[in-house]
Structure formats: structure tokens, C-alpha cells
Amino acid sequence: MSTDALCWINGEIIPAHAATISVFDHGLLYGDGVFEGIRFYNRRSFRLQEHLVRLERSARAIALQLPHTLAQMADFIDATVNAAKFDNGYLRVVITRGAGSLGIDPRNCTQPGFFIIADTLQMVKAEARQQGARLIIASTRRLPMDGLDPRVKSLNYLNHILARIEANQAGMDEAILLNRNGHVAEGTADNIFLVQNGMLVTPPVSDGALEGITRNLIIELAQRNDIPVQEKSIAPYDLHTADEVFLTGTGAELIPVREIDGRAMTQCPGPVYRQLQELFVAQVTLETDSAMGTGS
């Protein structure tokens, strides 16, 4: 947390270090809640509507009543971005089940919790961003769809954290989680793409990937620029033998991958990554430039 981080909570924007929530909040006690991570550039939230739609769906999927309308939340987000100490940063919008008794039953919680943090976020070191990240495939598997649907962006990241610990212990930058069928699902906080013979491939959501907003944008940019793209199941073999691999996410933006399980990618950063990275930056500029943008 940076000293400049702010928090919108209970209708006020205060220094984040001074913000508090109850120790009885079920978001804290049980991971019972949902969230969004949103970047802002040039003091404009990027793809805010997409994030709000996903937040509302995540909340509905876990039968969590939204404490505010989406329009109100958008206003609170704008106010937080305007108050931020930096022009470019990262927001964490969190809805918890709220404070209740120690029992797991959500009916104990009468009022959902809601807060927004504005800070900066760097997912990997600058060196990994430029020269490529080094990954392992974790032994920890992505939770099955019939356990917790991966489309729910919930506060429970424990199986991703276990995978990340595996990467840390191996001295690597990030871990890839497989689903229980052994197909590639995603990274611990990002989606994954590979390039093989000029074809861009990413796992379908049904293989355990979050329906990433950056992932969707990359698919859209590829389609608009005649880069062939497919959503299909990926085996570890496909990753190990890919020409290029890269990660995408709001926090990650685009991160090239240079090595997976000790196998070097043929190219890093490769030509398809470079092209999509340029297109991504151009799209962000288009949507967030105050002179020409359409961002909220």
C-alpha cells in the first residue's frame, strides 16, 4: 500500500491507512464477497461499464444484494479517481456480505459492506515486463466450475494464492493453474494467450478462465486487425511448445512470457505480442484521452 492510497468508505474519501471495517465482516471471515480491479488512465476509468456489469453479475451469482445502484457506484468511483494523488492508477471496488455473527450463514449479515481503494499496482518487476516473465505450471488446480464458477470474481483467492506460493518458491514470476482435466485455465490473477503458427489461442471460460475484460479486448483487437484467434482448450504441451505466450489482465495489462517450466518460448517479446501491445495502448489512449476519449 502506498502512503498516497485513498479509500472511499461510508460516503467519505479518506487516506486508505485510516479506513477500517468490522472484524465480523464475512468478507474477511469467509471470503464472502465480490470485487473488481479497474485501472484508470489520465483520470478516466478504463472500461468502467464492463467492470460494473461483471460486478453486478458476480454479486447476483452469490445472492449478494448490491448496496448501491450501478450509477451510484460509478459516481463514487469517479469521485475517488478525481481525488487520487496520481493520474494513472488502480482501483479496487469491493462488496462484502457485511458484518454478522461468527456463523457462516449469510442471513446474519444485514448490510453489505462497500469500499473503493485507489492506489498504484505493479504486478511484476519492470525487468519481467520488458524481457518476459518466467512461469511454472502449478500443481494446485483451478476450482471446478461446479465448486465455484470462475466467472464469479469473488474475494476467495486461496487456490490462486497457493499456486502463487509455488511460483514464489520456485523463484518464478507467476504460476499457471490447470483445471481438473489438465487443461490450462489461467494465471493467478491474469488470463493467458499463446501464439502457434500465427494463430492466437486462449482457453475458453468453460476451462476455468475468468471472463477477463482485458482478454475480451485482446480478442476484439485481434479480430479487428486480422490476427486469427481461437478459444480452445490448451494442454501443457501447447504452452511448452508455443512460439509466443503472454498474460493479460487489468493489473497485468500485457506481460510477455519468456519461459514456462524451464522451456523457453521461441520468441519473447514476439511479433504478435508487440502488435497487440501497441493496439492495446492505442485503445487505452483512445478511450481515456480527455480530448478525444469516450471513457466515463
Ligand X SMILES: Cc1ncc(COP(=O)(O)O)c(C=O)c1O
Residues 6+ positions from 279 with CB-CB distance below 8 Å: 221, 225
CB closer to ligand X, 90 vs 115: 90
Q: Which residues, 205 to 244, sit near ligand X by CB under 6 A?
A: 210, 212-215
276/270 Cα distance (integer angstroms): 10
Residue 224 CB, nearest distance to ligand X (Å)?
Answer: 18
- CA of residue 262 relative to chain centroid, distance: 26
167/134 Cα distance (integer angstroms): 9
Among 13, 16, 27, 37, binds ligand X (CB under 6 A): 37
Residue 218 CB, nearest distance to ligand X (Å)?
Answer: 9
Does 267 bind ligand X (CB under 6 A)? Our answer is no
- Residue recorded with cell 501497441: 278
CB closer to ligand X, 250 vs 267: 250
Residue 49 CB, nearest distance to ligand X (Å)?
Answer: 13
In DSSP notation, 244-296 reads EEEEEETTTEEEEEEEETTEEPSSTT-HHHHHHHHHHHHHHHHHH-TTT----
How far is CA 199 from each of CA 129, 222, 267, 272, 286, rounded to the nearest angstrom?
23, 10, 14, 9, 26
Among 32, 186, 207, 244, binds ligand X (CB under 6 A): 186
Residue 250 CB, nearest distance to ligand X (Å)?
Answer: 3
Q: Among the candidate windows 77-85, 132-140, 182-190, 193-201, which touches ligand X by CB under 6 A?
A: 182-190
Residues pairing with 202 in the sheet: 231
CB closer to ligand X, 175 vs 210: 210
CB closer to ligand X, 9 vs 185: 185
Q: Give the interface with ligand X as residue ranges (CB under 6 A).
A: 37, 160, 186, 189-191, 210, 212-215, 248-251
